[in-house]
Amino acid sequence: MSIRLARISDVPALTDIESRAFSGDALTARRFRHFIRSDLSELWCCMDGSGDQILAYALVLYHRGTSLARLYSIAVAPEAQGKGLAAELMRHCEQSAVERGILFMRLEVRQDNTRALAIYEKAGYRILKNLPAYYEDGADGWRLEKHLALSRRVPDHLPFYAQTTPFTCGPSALMMAMHSMDDRVALTRINELDIWREATTIYLTTGHGGCSPQGLALAADHRGFEARLWLSDDETPFLEGVRDPHKRELLVDVSEEFSRRCAEQGIETEIRNMMADDLRLALKEGYRVLLLISTYRLNRNKAPHWVWLVAMDDRFAYINDPDVDEALDQADTDSLFVPVSLDNLSAMVQYGRRRYTAAVLVRKR
């Protein structure tokens, strides 16, 4: 038996195993070809002794910029089952992931597939989340996770909300943070859009605007929460991305008005360099922390984006990222409690050439 990466010529054999292993939610030949070509996935084939026949496969998806991978699918040909091939493939995938700097592996399994669940639990995976009606036929699923090197505990009842538009990451992150302190804060699209209307300030050359730190702080204050701001400077952000003089003028006017309202409401604004120890202390003091990041390390797009910093330890920060990319086969729980190395986080929070940083700190009054 040997294990190697899949080739395009393997697609007919892979689809044959897929069709015989699964009655629904099966991967198509087109998707197999996509995953074989992608640099964000690894598709491993377990070969027979001659090296000519594929007996099983495992597909791992990677989340750029994080220390998280997803064991998306694993299948064994019916005639090869019971020989420990799935466990051997899992070990191989985990080792390959560690070599890529990955420390957390997640996967999904049907709740009625007790045999597979037992294999995963024996391999060290533990249940992370219940997934009601997750599968094509309406069956429930489990999301499992294994820490490949360390141990940690995912917070109980951690809320998650996926943004429903390309421009409402800020409201979505703020809603999750507020809901974690007060479950009366509704995780709904109406609330998402209401906050966006209150907090938007970025006037882009195309499309809709996003939300400024001051706008989000005011939205939190308006809903009865204490809000603070940590900014690297007090200049209007994102001006370098707007060439039209009229739009630049509008952006400055709106930004200055938000700053005036923050001062009027007594929202404290600190001009400071944001360090990991500062963020840890804020979390310890009960604040929910929203961070403005550049998405370049996540998807190679240099766009401003808001996430909720949920927790930190000595090596990682854990974020809830409201952006769920269905084109990359992501599920909501791929963006829940996502581990990011502290080095990556330090780079992510510096936006643009001026390395602008912003954090909105929110807690109960």
Domain segments of the chain: what residues? 2-147, 169-364
Q: What does the block give as tokens for 287?
A: 């604040």
Q: Round to whole Å and give the CA distance between 217 and 85.
A: 53
- The CA-CA-CA angle for residues 65, 105, 134, to 5°, reads 105
Question: What is residue 151's predicted lDDT score, i.e. its pLDDT?
Answer: 47
Question: What is residue 67's predicted lDDT score, i.e. its pLDDT?
Answer: 81
Question: What is residue 326's predicted lDDT score, i.e. its pLDDT?
Answer: 64
Q: What does the block give as tokens for 217?
A: 């702080």
Q: Does domain 2-147 have CATH number 3.40.630.30?
A: yes
Question: What is residue 336's predicted lDDT score, i.e. its pLDDT?
Answer: 83
Question: What is residue 191's predicted lDDT score, i.e. its pLDDT?
Answer: 97
Nearest to 161 by CA among 143, 142, 144, 178: 178
Place of tokens 């669940």: 117
Q: Round to whole Å and give the CA distance between 359 and 237.
A: 13
User: What is the signed CA dihedral for 147, 148, 150, 151, rounded to 10 degrees?
Assistant: 30
Positions in the chain whose pLDDT score sits under 50: 151, 205
Q: Domain 169-364, what fold?
A: Cathepsin B; Chain A (3.90.70)
Question: What is residue 6's predicted lDDT score, i.e. its pLDDT?
Answer: 96
Alpha helices in 83-135, H assignment, sequence order: 85-99, 114-122
- Asked if 208 and 170 touch (Cβ cutoff 8 Å), the reply is no
